[in-house]
Structure 1
């Protein structure tokens, strides 16, 4: 057993000794070369005195000294050689460690694009980074497409083991001798280059490509390699893989491709832009003929089949990427990226089921588009709308603008942009008041008032009609959207408290920092449409707030569920009793008669709905919100450039209200009328003398009489 390492050691010693002798002979060789050419300039480096001194040294001393130095030099060189023998395997091992694992091929081809679906499984959009990719099994790919690919790319695919020396030599000769660019890669090499390596042109990368190709051939069967190749190769634009290419060029699946189509696609990977039928059909047909000729020469088809395929007219159908509910898709994409990061969203092959009802979405989009087209005479050019599911806190429709594809501003999402809400914010103020000492019957004096604050101009609120209405009940003030009573109530309850409640009800950008004045109750602080709609949803949910969810479930590329919408556990922010009073007021069509008349867009026949409008002072924003126990609809109209609308035409009944009415009618079509159940803490007081009734929270200040305010002694400033 000991003889083996001794023999190896002797062999290594002999090897290092030979290496040492080689290096030792170099100075002698140089000296002989110098003597051979004495006339060269290098002659000046000769030192006759030194040589003479050496010659005068006794031979036995020189012999002994030479042996010592010789042994030292042999030792040093041998030691260096030993280190080299140890170091070389380490370098090789490190180089191999840097190689990608061939098993990454299965991971790379496993996951397609992230799909965003509506609640019923309707595809809304596919998310991918720079590659549209949809893998298919080999047995689901047209046989003609498979044969055409092998014929033109690698005719000896089933014979070689990853590399073809003849192709490499031919490519080398064409490139470096003839000056022409010529590929010499096998299908396996192309797969490795496209999936596992970078596209850099270096000797190191080519070496890695060759080694990895051999490793891939040793790891996978030919069928697996071919399947991975056909699913990962580029066919032009963002189409990666035969399935994406079939859909991009012919609007069909990979298994539906005929011979002519297969030959056309098989010719693309070597130069997708040059041979693309979308760029130059003449060049594309020449390439198709070349592929068909290759198939004939290899026996895949006969000449008649090739000629028939060549003469066949190709129905090229360039496909645009479909996107349904585009603003909503972008909203969901941002939510996904916040959850998982953009890399995982782009490449993870997720299947995202959203809350959107695409059927209802299409109807809402059509309504918004139609009404905005009529908006010229009112001075608005854009609109947006949302429909929310109250009980499940879900987004059912999401229309971010009247036309996503309109040039310039169409893609801008109004649903999540900040706009002034006008009077549509008043329910927050009145909810706070009703939770305090106010009742729907509380008298508020609608008369001129001036508020003076140190360091600022006096604040004089006015009503939208420029009139004063005297003593009005809180019900009448809110139902008719009178401004002066709303400001007086805001002064009584405090702007900071209004902001605090607004935040609790769903206004995500509101912060209690003492910077808000009384104008907050008239829409002085910007909000988002989606958030304000959720405020009304909080009222519809009996005073309970819940964060909106656009997603029901998410499955990863393997089909495992990685996210499921949790059961809604809303947080009570105002009492059920206050919510009921608000619903009672906002659904009272009789109470709003003075401002809105009998014929208005805030009612849907056969349905009891709470509704509120809002318009900003300069008529830049116009809103309508409404809710039932199950649904909330919110609508905005205006101009993206903040240009004011027609001040004579844009009111709460002409801008957003018609859109709101049509969408709410679609939402409630075929559904029974829903009303809110009266909480135990609420009771009804009737006044027989003037045939009036009102709802009150038990324990609140109930007036002695409900007769018209002008006949009552109770007044309030």
Structure 2
């Protein structure tokens, strides 16, 4: 008992000592933590700007320059504010701003604990430092600090937030935020924004207008109705209205009415001091994707690839030419110019008029459209890659293409002008843009391989996935898939650049407002897509005015006198899109005309005569004459002929080696693909002398035929799924309609029976006078069953009987002078007989009348 009591006393003593030490440790930790926090606070606070400067800053300007340093757009050069007082701010704007930016604004002391936890959580997940900014913190970022996302900057931001909240009332902080926040372009503060977007005082804003403005400061370059992505402001506004309803500021009915009003909002016409606006906003969107949406608002200097001299020339041409097309129901056009060797964008005109309220802001250079026949060069590039040549003959005749399903109708393409031109070499099918040969060629080279090479050349929507293969058919070579003008022009630059692909580029360098380089282009990164030989063949055809002569004539807008320019046009079947894309070795130009609402143009629009072609013609002519004051900026011509491309004289009609009686022409071939003989379509056929049909074996054996040359076209149908050769059916139907018999060889074989006996008397000849009484009787006998007997008769009397199989007779008979009838009768083992008769004379005329004794 004594020991038990003593043990209890001892344990109590130990507990008290442990608690005492624990309290000392905790107290020490708190003191150390306080000292550390104080020192940390002091460290980060020592260089902080004073909160009193909140309304005294001007911000940094973001500038876009062309490649020579000329200003395209100074985003904040004209930054101006129209400060407003708190009593001028309508409740709807206050509520909308708080709802979308900081719903606990009136509850916290400058920092959102939940926001901080969310930011830490994002850091732990590797998402970077994002989230957690209150209105107070955003005000500090906008005015006192940069928006760099670092932990130290976040701590400084929190310290300042505490200080601002200590110095100012909540409504004062909110007012400063509304007066100092960016609202897009040169609009800083709600006073300027209300005037700039709606033409009214801020106090007169309605609910939806307030919601629009409240949604902008988070990312003004994205959400601005003037400079942001199309219609993103609408979704942002609807999000603001939803948050206002969730926070109890408006009712469900008000939200619904507001969302209906969003689509009816009318803005004032924006007046921006900007060059190449579509290009500038294209570059702006690329910057935001690469560096985040806030980079535009941080003040950067962006040196672009654009050549302002080229841009201004193109803008004027588009404006002038589109104005001429109103009677054709053409309301818009777009042009992009690339450096052929680097892929750099030299000019981008996205619409007829950027300031047009209906469609001006939409950049048609980036819009998805069907390219029509402008895509055909890619099909033929694949063909040349697989060994076909510019002299390969394709039959331009009405042809059915199997759909692959018995339930679907066959595909029957037609040519632009509705005509069929029969046999055509690839040089002329591509030059004249014939549809049926292009579809046949795609069937021969394969849709999958076509999609692959198109994708590799820059058509980003043509990736050969299973879904694409199910969606695209043979019509894709006539423009059945969608692409953008920028992508198609980039693909053509591969032809211009010896088969090498450059990534499209628009930025040369980026620097921040302190002059530090953020990015600098480090040269061109090229990838070989097609061989220089294939690129040369395509370029030579597209620059050959004779190759397109039949359809376009000698003086179309595709022919620029004194210049060598490769070009291809395209027009969709429904006349919704009209294209012209072409190049020299220095520049590649793509043109589109049509309507933004996708309505069809007038049917009189014609490739090579109206629409895109005149714009292309004027653009190329102007740009190839442009100088930098000393020399021309851009040169014409295609790349030089590679060594592995050989010139050869060929048959101008069917593309083989030259043939007697037919004209010749020169053609280029990749080494190893040159023709080795005349065209196989030339056929010598044995025709029966008896009936004009195909000679049978007996007639051929007996020489009873004439050999005659025909042109016989044959094609195999590689897409047939039922055994029918629809391509040959189309060829045969076309041949029957031709007036020239050379296309119509007999198809039936002579009906001379295999059991018939054919006797051909070789000597004497009919009506011959033999000058000797010893007459040689020679004959050739043909019979499939063997001959068993031959009789020779003179004037009806048998003079000789020959038994046994034989195919020749060579006998001599002595006859006196006079006129005679020779008759040879042959019988075969089937007891079938045949005879041949002729008259001749012996030392007398064959018709000599012998005196009666």
TM-score above 0.5, yes or no: yes
SS at 2:588 equivalent:
strand
In the alignment, structure 1 residue 496 sits paired with structure 2 residue 459: no
**Which residue of 423, 435, 442 maps to 1:471?**
423
Other-structure match for 1:345:
296
Matches of 2:541 and 2:668, distance apart in 1: 10
C-alpha contact 1:352 1:554 (8 A) present in aligned 2: yes
Other-structure match for 1:393:
343
Matches of 2:181 and 2:540, distance apart in 1: 58
C-alpha contact 2:565 2:584 (8 A) present in aligned 1: yes
Other-structure match for 2:73:
125
SS at 2:480 equivalent:
coil
Q: How does 1:669-708 map to 2 (within 5 A)?
A: 669=625, 671=632, 673-687=636-650, 690-702=663-675, 704=677
**Which residue of 6, 31, 34 maps to 1:90?**
34
Other-structure match for 1:664:
620
Aligned residues: 500
C-alpha contact 1:420 1:527 (8 A) present in aligned 2: yes
CA deviation profile, 1:172-191 (whole Å, cap 9, x unmatched): xxxxxxxxxxxxxxxxxx99
**Which residue of 347, 355, 366 maps to 1:416?**
366
Shift of 1:408: 2.1
Q: What TM-score do the two structures reach when normalised by structure 2?
A: 0.53
Other-structure match for 2:63:
115
Matches of 2:611 and 2:314, distance apart in 1: 16
Shift of 1:674: 2.9
**Which residue of 451, 463, 468 maps to 2:401?**
451
Matches of 1:541 and 1:85, distance apart in 2: 70
Other-structure match for 2:601:
645
Matches of 1:548 and 1:370, distance apart in 2: 28
C-alpha contact 2:556 2:608 (8 A) present in aligned 1: no
SS at 2:669 equivalent:
strand
Q: 1:133 to 1:554 in 2, by over 3 A?
A: farther
Shift of 1:361: 0.4
**Which residue of 313, 333, 340 maps to 2:284?**
333
Shift of 1:122: 1.2
Matches of 2:183 and 2:48, distance apart in 1: 21
Deviates more, 1:366-375 or 1:669-678: 669-678
C-alpha contact 1:619 1:650 (8 A) present in aligned 2: no
Other-structure match for 1:568:
524
Other-structure match for 1:41:
none
C-alpha contact 1:443 1:715 (8 A) present in aligned 2: no
Shift of 1:690: 2.4
In the alignment, structure 1 residue 606 sits paired with structure 2 residue 562: yes
Q: 1:191 to 1:651 in 2, by over 3 A?
A: closer
Q: 1:100 to 1:86 in 2, by over 3 A?
A: closer
SS at 1:386 equivalent:
strand
C-alpha contact 2:345 2:505 (8 A) present in aligned 1: yes
Q: What TM-score do the two structures reach when normalised by structure 1?
A: 0.62
Shift of 1:363: 1.3
Q: How does 1:214-293 map to 2 (within 5 A)?
A: none
The unaligned stretches of length 5 or more in structure 2 are: 1-18, 82-138, 146-155, 170-175, 202-268, 627-631, 651-657, 684-708, 716-853
**Which residue of 286, 291, 308 maps to 1:358?**
308
Shift of 1:380: 1.1
Shift of 1:610: 0.6
Q: How does 1:51-70 map to 2 (within 5 A)?
A: none
CA deviation profile, 1:488-530 (whole Å, cap 9, x unmatched): 0011001111100000111112111222210110011100100
Matches of 1:327 and 1:421, distance apart in 2: 21
Matches of 1:709 and 1:669, distance apart in 2: 49
Matches of 1:110 and 1:194, distance apart in 2: 8
SS at 1:592 equivalent:
helix
Shift of 1:340: 1.0
In the alignment, structure 1 residue 374 sits paired with structure 2 residue 324: yes
Q: 1:413 to 1:440 in 2, by over 3 A?
A: same
C-alpha contact 1:236 1:273 (8 A) present in aligned 2: no
SS at 1:103 equivalent:
coil
Matches of 2:29 and 2:533, distance apart in 1: 87
In the alignment, structure 1 residue 531 sits paired with structure 2 residue 487: yes
In the alignment, structure 1 residue 426 sits paired with structure 2 residue 387: no
C-alpha contact 2:334 2:349 (8 A) present in aligned 1: yes
Shift of 1:333: 0.9
Matches of 2:682 and 2:363, distance apart in 1: 45
C-alpha contact 1:445 1:716 (8 A) present in aligned 2: no
Q: 1:457 to 1:463 in 2, by over 3 A?
A: same
Matches of 1:627 and 1:123, distance apart in 2: 28
C-alpha contact 2:558 2:608 (8 A) present in aligned 1: no
Other-structure match for 2:90:
none
Other-structure match for 1:290:
none
Shift of 1:337: 1.3
**Which residue of 386, 400, 413 maps to 1:436?**
386
**Which residue of 463, 484, 493 maps to 2:436?**
484
Matches of 2:384 and 2:272, distance apart in 1: 52
Deviates more, 1:534-543 or 1:513-522: 513-522
In the alignment, structure 1 residue 402 sits paired with structure 2 residue 402: no
C-alpha contact 2:373 2:478 (8 A) present in aligned 1: yes
Q: 1:237 to 1:646 in 2, by over 3 A?
A: same
Structure that is richer in strand per residue: 2
Shift of 1:707: 13
In the alignment, structure 1 residue 195 sits paired with structure 2 residue 149: no
Matches of 2:621 and 2:639, distance apart in 1: 19
Other-structure match for 2:106:
none
Matches of 2:639 and 2:679, distance apart in 1: 23
Matches of 2:142 and 2:454, distance apart in 1: 57
Q: 1:466 to 1:202 in 2, by over 3 A?
A: closer
The structure number with the bigger radius of gyration is 2
Shift of 1:120: 0.9
CA deviation profile, 1:197-224 (whole Å, cap 9, x unmatched): 999x9997453579xxxxxxxxxxxxxx
Q: 1:105 to 1:416 in 2, by over 3 A?
A: farther
Matches of 1:561 and 1:525, distance apart in 2: 41
SS at 1:590 equivalent:
helix
CA deviation profile, 1:416-448 (whole Å, cap 9, x unmatched): 111000000001100001111311111100011
Greater RCO, 1 or 2 (C-alpha within 8 Å, sep 6+): 1
SS at 2:581 equivalent:
strand
Q: 1:83 to 1:535 in 2, by over 3 A?
A: closer
Q: 1:96 to 1:505 in 2, by over 3 A?
A: closer
CA deviation profile, 1:275-333 (whole Å, cap 9, x unmatched): 99x999xxxxxxxxxxxxxxxxxxxxxxxxxxxxxxxxxxxxx9954221111111111
Q: How does 1:107-186 map to 2 (within 5 A)?
A: 112-127=60-75, 132=79
Matches of 2:353 and 2:569, distance apart in 1: 24
**Which residue of 510, 513, 523 maps to 1:557?**
513
Matches of 1:133 and 1:272, distance apart in 2: 7
In the alignment, structure 1 residue 510 sits paired with structure 2 residue 458: no
Shift of 1:116: 1.1
Deviates more, 1:640-649 or 1:439-448: 640-649
CA deviation profile, 1:24-81 (whole Å, cap 9, x unmatched): xxxxxxxxxxxxxxxxxxxxxxxxxxxxxxxxxxxxxxxxxxxxxxxxxxx99xx99x
